[in-house]
């Protein structure tokens, strides 16, 4: 399996220098999800277990506890040179390798998603073929897309007929 590129210029708080990035996010009402780093052969960016004390990314303890377990992979950068659809297929192949674990998470109240963010300050575009979409659906994985526009002083064009 092709290795995904570690992203060195992402703060994982949606500030991306480049075309965009994606990660895998898992949520579950109670299960410890920390084993997914090894199952997916991916580094973990954030992980916690339901019921444990909440803390900031810097490690400062907060007063309440996490209501659900969470695991998020480190972000993977894609660019015009290294397209979105290629990295998406790579992520899907990793998820296909743990299909039984995904079914367990989903059947016990959890959720699995591929989270993708695009920079809105550059032209973005790619095609996700029907076979890839079908595989995402068969796995029961959600695909979350988010665009972060960086447009200053521009107004959208007028809509005809208004």
Q: Count Cβ atoms within 10 A of the Cβ of residue 70 and give its class: 0-12 exposed, 13-18 middle, 19 or more buried.
A: middle
String of DSSP letters for 88-153: HHHHHHHHHTTHHHHHHHHHTT-EEEEEEEEETTS-------HHHHHHHHHHT-EEEEEEE----S
Higher model confidence: residue 19 or residue 56?
A: 56
Q: What is the mean pLDDT of residues 13-29?
A: 75
Residue 17 pLDDT exceeds 60: no
DSSP state of 37: H
Element (H, E) at 85: helix 84-96
pLDDT tens digits for range 81-124 = 567 888 899 999 999 999 999 999 999 999 999 999 877 666 66
Higher model confidence: residue 25 or residue 57?
A: 25
Q: What is the mean pLDDT of residues 61-82?
A: 87
Residue 129 pLDDT exceeds 60: yes
Give which of 12, 90, 96 is closest to 47, Cα–Cα. 12
Give which of 36, 37, 41, 44 is closest to 3, Cα–Cα. 41
């Amino acid at each position: 399996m092709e290795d995904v590129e570690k992203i060195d210029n992402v703060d994982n708080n949606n500030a991306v220098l480049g075309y965009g990035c994606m990660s895998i996010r898992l949520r579950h009402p109670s299960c410890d999800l920390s084993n997914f780093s090894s199952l997916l052969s991916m580094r973990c960016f954030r992980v916690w277990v339901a019921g444990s004390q909440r803390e900031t990314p810097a490690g400062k303890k907060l007063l309440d506890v996490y209501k659900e377990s969470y695991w998020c992979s480190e972000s993977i950068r894609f660019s015009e040179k290294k397209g979105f659809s290629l990295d998406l297929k790579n992520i899907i192949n990793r998820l296909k390798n743990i299909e039984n674990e995904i079914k367990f998470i989903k059947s016990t109240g959890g959720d699995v998603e591929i989270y993708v963010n695009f920079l809105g300050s550059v032209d973005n575009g790619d095609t996700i073929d029907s076979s890839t979409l079908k595989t995402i659906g068969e796995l029961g994985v959600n695909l979350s897309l988010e665009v972060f526009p960086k447009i200053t002083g521009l107004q959208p064009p007028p809509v005809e007929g208004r």
